[in-house]
Structure 1
Amino acid sequence: MNKVFAWMTWIGVPVSVIGGFLHWPTVLMFGLYCLTIIALASYMGRATESLAIVAGPRIGGLLNATFGNAVELIISIFALQAGLVDVVLASLTGSVLGNLLLVAGLSFFVGGLKYKRQEFNIYDARHNAGLLTFAIFVAFVIPEVFTMQMDGGERLALSVGISIIMILLYIAALYFRLVTHRGVYQHKSEEVEEHEEPEWGKGKATAILALATVAVAYLSERLVHTFETVAESFGWSELFIGIIIVAIVGNAAEHASAVIMAYKNKMNVAVEIAVGSTLQIAMFVAPVLVLVSLLFPEKMPLVFSLPELVAMAASVLLMIVLSNDGDTNWFEGATLLAAYTIMGIGFYLL
């Protein structure tokens, strides 16, 4: 598989650049950009996996989520610059659904096919449950009720205030887990770790991450300009493009890495990638995009549509119920995947 992604990268990057300059058909370039970004994301996933082996499951999962979300952050910033606020909000929703239902679902399902039961840190699961509840219900759903009585300026002011609080709380959560309470809530699944050699050393992994991020930034900027034409060609709404297409492409690195980790029975890392990435999207990426939008003519208040809010809330509740016992199997993965498919059909038909 790595060889396939390697060929896709070495061919896709130069062909994408050439196609852009020669103005090849937009729909063709859309597909080419998506495939090349996914191939580059695989390199980012392999690099962060190498760093994860050195740094441990918590920091490794955080690194994977951070660099995986960097792709979506870059795409979203260019989309904001182009005035595509609805696409950005939809992509944020898609990331929450994709990570909690698709990434976690695939991880639980694939890992469950190989192992009857897979355990992960129950203390982390409960800690994440509280943060997920705060991020979606307190920071996303409740403000929606208040904004019904507000004008545009007040909505934006509330969104900026919420964004600052969420960023500060996210930083505090990282400090809590990685500094003040590191190792305090250790689970037996973390006590025995197989010794594994990283694929790349620290220097090479860091260099590959940097180069891949630069390439993704360029391709993402080009990808954003194809959305309108592609939507008209296939009859897709901006909501569907944001929730399904952008979210899957933007989170390709986490998708691959989490499933691989689950197959290796490293569920602490797999869950940290899926849930940690969701928390980072909701508590850091979304607030940062709100603040970045202040630099552009089209501002982005943190106000989602009713279908988006209901879908995110249902995903969080389902994930909390299934993961709060620190134990999973293939059927729970199938349940998450079924929920993602139902919501995908709904957004496609909306």
Structure 2
Amino acid sequence: MVDKAFMLLTFIGVPLSVIGSLMHWPSILLFVIYCLTIVALASFMGRATESLAVVAGPRIGGLLNATFGNAVELIISIFSLKAGLVGVVLASLTGSVLGNLLLVAGLSFFVGGVKFKRQRFNVYDARHNSGLLMFAVIVAFVIPEVFSMTMNEGETIALSVGISLILIVLYLAALFFKLVTHRGVYQPKEDRGENHHEEEPEWGKGKAIAILALATVAVAYVSENLVHTFEAVAESFGWTELFIGVIIVAIVGNAAEHASAILMALKNKMDIAVEIAIGSTLQVSMFVAPVLVLISLLFPVNMPLIFTLPELISMASAVLLMVVISNDGESNWFEGATLLAAYFIMGIGFYLL
């Protein structure tokens, strides 16, 4: 039923997006149409990556979900950089970290915990990811802020570029570690491989890849138009660039992985759900953000890897909370509720800021 609704929304939303942009409909109406269309397209991306995950296993499946989930946000961010909206991009990166660690993981833990009182996931992956989360968010994002206090604009950009290159190299090394040199080394013997091998993928590999490609192209078109509505929507509702980036863009941009992670939790596939939430956070902080810094060098306005104090404190708090909750390799609905409560508290703060 839900899949049919998203299909209908896609077939209606894409043509309306094209017609509305050509006929210059009111910005608020277009903003709503674009957001709903992107969410609908993201559902197709989620279903396609889920089909590929059935064949590839939890680690590759989680990585695929995180990658294509972040592809939407990366596309929106590139067009935002082109428009000179650096504040929106930095805020959307903050929103992705908060959304993945608190909203996505929180909903997954809560929904899965209601159905299954106690759910388990790979504790070795959780501990490995905890160290990377601490490095990626607290070290790599806080250090530039501290050093930039005594630097001029050119030196700050140079520092950001240097840190970005290091982050990208370490992220690729982390993938090589998990998927090649230490694949299966830290994997418990029990309960591994019995779920995803029994299940048949919804779509074949060729069809899934084709749908991913088409959906990504459509998202790119809609995202470019969505960016042009931000200023008018902000004026109409009294929203700041920070709130639009942290809450609106982050939720819309990460809709695919939100849906995928919750669906995996309902099927008691917590390895994939946790890999989506934490893996996506690592990908945003160690790959997407550095890539955007490098891409911004092609535009008139460069983006430094410098966040505001509320953004830094919020991201660091989310990381510490997630590390404490996930380090035992188990989850329940109350832990999910705790993560969600933290997300809503921060959401209220960014709205009133």
| Bin of the TM-score, shorter chain as denominator length | over 0.9
Q: Which residue of 2 aligns with 1:109?
A: 110
Q: Which residue of 1 aligns with 2:337?
A: 334
Cα distance between partner residues in 2 of 1:162 and 1:131 = 15
Q: Which residue of 1 aligns with 2:85?
A: 84
Is the 2:88–2:242 Cα contact (8 Å) retained in structure 1? yes
Q: Which residue of 2 aligns with 1:277?
A: 280
Q: Which residue of 1 aligns with 2:322?
A: 319
Secondary structure at the aligned position of 1:190 is classed as coil
Q: CA deviation at 1:142?
A: 1.8
Q: Which residue of 2 aligns with 1:295?
A: 298
Q: CA deviation at 1:182?
A: 0.4
Cα distance between partner residues in 2 of 1:94 and 1:216 = 19
Q: CA deviation at 1:189?
A: 3.6
Cα distance between partner residues in 2 of 1:193 and 1:2 = 22
Cα distance between partner residues in 2 of 1:218 and 1:192 = 40
Q: CA deviation at 1:192?
A: 3.0
One-letter amino acid of the counterpart of residue 345, structure 1: I
One-letter amino acid of the counterpart of residue 68, structure 1: G
Equivalent positions of 1:191-206 (< 5 A) are: 191-193=193-195, 195-206=198-209
Q: CA deviation at 1:193?
A: 2.5
Q: Does 1:131 align with 2:132?
A: yes
> Per-residue displacement from partner, 1:288-328 (whole Å, max 9, x unpaired)?
00000000000000000000000000000000000000001
Cα distance between partner residues in 2 of 1:25 and 1:50 = 38
Q: CA deviation at 1:191?
A: 4.7
Secondary structure at the aligned position of 2:46 is classed as helix
Q: CA deviation at 1:190?
A: 2.0
Q: CA deviation at 1:207?
A: 0.1
Cα distance between partner residues in 2 of 1:89 and 1:15 = 29
Q: Which residue of 2 aligns with 1:238?
A: 241
One-letter amino acid of the counterpart of residue 266, structure 1: K
Q: Which residue of 2 aligns with 1:190?
A: 192
One-letter amino acid of the counterpart of residue 330, structure 1: W
Cα distance between partner residues in 2 of 1:339 and 1:175 = 33
Q: Which residue of 2 aligns with 1:45?
A: 46
Is the 1:121–1:189 Cα contact (8 Å) retained in structure 2? no
Aligned-CA RMSD value: 0.6
Q: Which residue of 2 aligns with 1:65?
A: 66
Cα distance between partner residues in 2 of 1:136 and 1:43 = 30
Cα distance between partner residues in 2 of 1:250 and 1:328 = 26
> Per-residue displacement from partner, 1:10-41 (whole Å, max 9, x unpaired)?
01000110111111111000000000000000
Cα distance between partner residues in 1 of 2:149 and 2:346 = 25
TM-score (norm 2): 0.98
Is the 1:20–1:29 Cα contact (8 Å) retained in structure 2? yes
Q: Which residue of 2 aligns with 1:265?
A: 268
Q: 1:308 aligns with which of 278, 287, 311?
A: 311
One-letter amino acid of the counterpart of residue 236, structure 2: S
Q: Which residue of 2 aligns with 1:180?
A: 181
Cα distance between partner residues in 2 of 1:50 and 1:192 = 16
Secondary structure at the aligned position of 1:295 is classed as coil
Unaligned runs of 5+ in 1: none
Q: CA deviation at 1:104?
A: 0.2
Q: Which residue of 1 aligns with 2:165?
A: 164
> Per-residue displacement from partner, 1:118-153 (whole Å, max 9, x unpaired)?
000000000000000000111001221111111101
One-letter amino acid of the counterpart of residue 66, structure 2: A
TM-score (norm 1): 0.99
Is the 2:57–2:193 Cα contact (8 Å) retained in structure 1? no
Is the 1:163–1:287 Cα contact (8 Å) retained in structure 2? yes
Cα distance between partner residues in 2 of 1:243 and 1:155 = 23
Q: CA deviation at 1:51?
A: 0.1
Q: Which residue of 1 aligns with 2:252?
A: 249
One-letter amino acid of the counterpart of residue 144, structure 2: P
Secondary structure at the aligned position of 2:13 is classed as helix
Q: Does 1:145 align with 2:153?
A: no
> Per-residue displacement from partner, 1:251-282 (whole Å, max 9, x unpaired)?
00000000000000000000000000000000
**What percentage of residue pairs aligned between the two structures are identical?**
77
Cα distance between partner residues in 2 of 1:20 and 1:125 = 44
Secondary structure at the aligned position of 2:297 is classed as helix
Cα distance between partner residues in 1 of 2:161 and 2:192 = 39
Secondary structure at the aligned position of 1:303 is classed as coil
Q: CA deviation at 1:154?
A: 0.6
Q: CA deviation at 1:212?
A: 0.0
> Per-residue displacement from partner, 1:58-97 (whole Å, max 9, x unpaired)?
0000000000000000000000000000000000000000
Cα distance between partner residues in 2 of 1:205 and 1:126 = 32
Q: Does 1:215 align with 2:215?
A: no
